[in-house]
Amino acid sequence: MIDLLRSGLPLQFDEESRVMNFIGSLVPVEPDVRRLSRSRDFYRDPQALGPEELYFMYRGVSQLWDIPLFENQELRYDITVVFPGKIGQECLRTIGHYHPACLASQRGLTFPEVYEVLAGVATYYLQRMNQDGSVADVAVMEAHPGEKCLIPPGYGHITINARREVLVMANLIERNFASRYQDFQQKRGPAYYGEYSTKGVRFVPNGNYGAVPPLRRIQPSEDQAAGITFGAPLYEAFLRSPDTFRYLVNPDQYPQDWEEVLANP
């Protein structure tokens, strides 16, 4: 049993039965299951062997009494369970997506998102494209329980589970938009594939992208003004100061410069 108290919520995930226990006044949520048989276009080798169940997405997790707050703030809190394993040579990962542009943004920015690791280790892969279809930037961050990753506007993102244990993470996001999957589908995944190796993840360029810039390794970092601290669960940070997260609904309201977010070495 994986205790997910780190989320600030009475949650447990039973690895044996693959059931999430929503305890007390938590509203039970049925997961959307991402299956390999329906996702083969997103991986390098469409014939690759791998587990059929890749990851579970529990969308809209909350305490009963917090539902109106999430609705009023136009945000949603989700939990994702990513199983360990391989798809061919690739580490098991999410299929990846981009977010659409936020209509309220004067600058045409796409919606950002905040991730938080609850159990296991996440490797967050982010990539941004140029207008001409070339790859502008690729950044990779390894994050451990309690650490958070702010996905800035413009970045497509994938979560890799490169460990032999279950990865559980939370995210906070604008609740009404639909993600865009076709870009990663057409290229059969990201600009770099994360392969298993004895030294951890080995990133190998995806030939469907042409020339790719060097992959940058970045570290998780706190961002107090954006409500991102490693000491407090994301759920609690949101309850304590909902308006701090307005930038998730309109990225123009981010208190700092978006360019700085992935800039750390």
CB of 181 to Fe ion, least distance (A): 10
Cα 37 to Cα 40, 43, 161, 162: the distances in Å are 6, 11, 19, 21
User: 66 vs 113, which CB is nearer to Fe ion?
Assistant: 113
Q: How far is the CB of 259 from Fe ion (least distance, A)?
A: 20
Interface residue with Fe ion among 113, 142, 147, 174 (CB under 5 A) is 113
Is residue 49 helix, strand or coil? Answer: coil
> Whole-number minimum distance, CB 116 to Fe ion, in Å?
13
Window contacting Fe ion (CB under 5 A); options: 111-119, 193-201, 220-228, 243-251: 111-119
- Could you tell me which stretch among 8-16, 77-85, 107-115, 182-190 binds Fe ion (CB under 5 A)? 107-115
For residue 149, give the nearest of 163, 164, 120, 169 by alpha carbon.
Answer: 169
CB of 10 to Fe ion, least distance (A): 26
**Residue 243 identity (one-letter amino acid):** D
Q: Please name which of 57, 107, 96 lies closest in space to residue 77, comparing C-alpha atoms.
A: 57
Beta-carbon contacts of 71 under 8 Å, excluding residues fewer than 6 positions away, are: 175
Give dist(CA 105, CA 248) in Å, integer.
11
Interacting stretch for Fe ion, rule CB under 5 A, among 58-66, 81-89, 112-120, 189-197?
Answer: 112-120
174 binds Fe ion (CB under 5 A): no
Find the shortest distance in angstroms from Cβ 119 to Fe ion.
Answer: 20
Alpha-carbon span 26 to 118, nearest angstrom: 17
**Residue ranges binding Fe ion (CB under 5 A):** 113
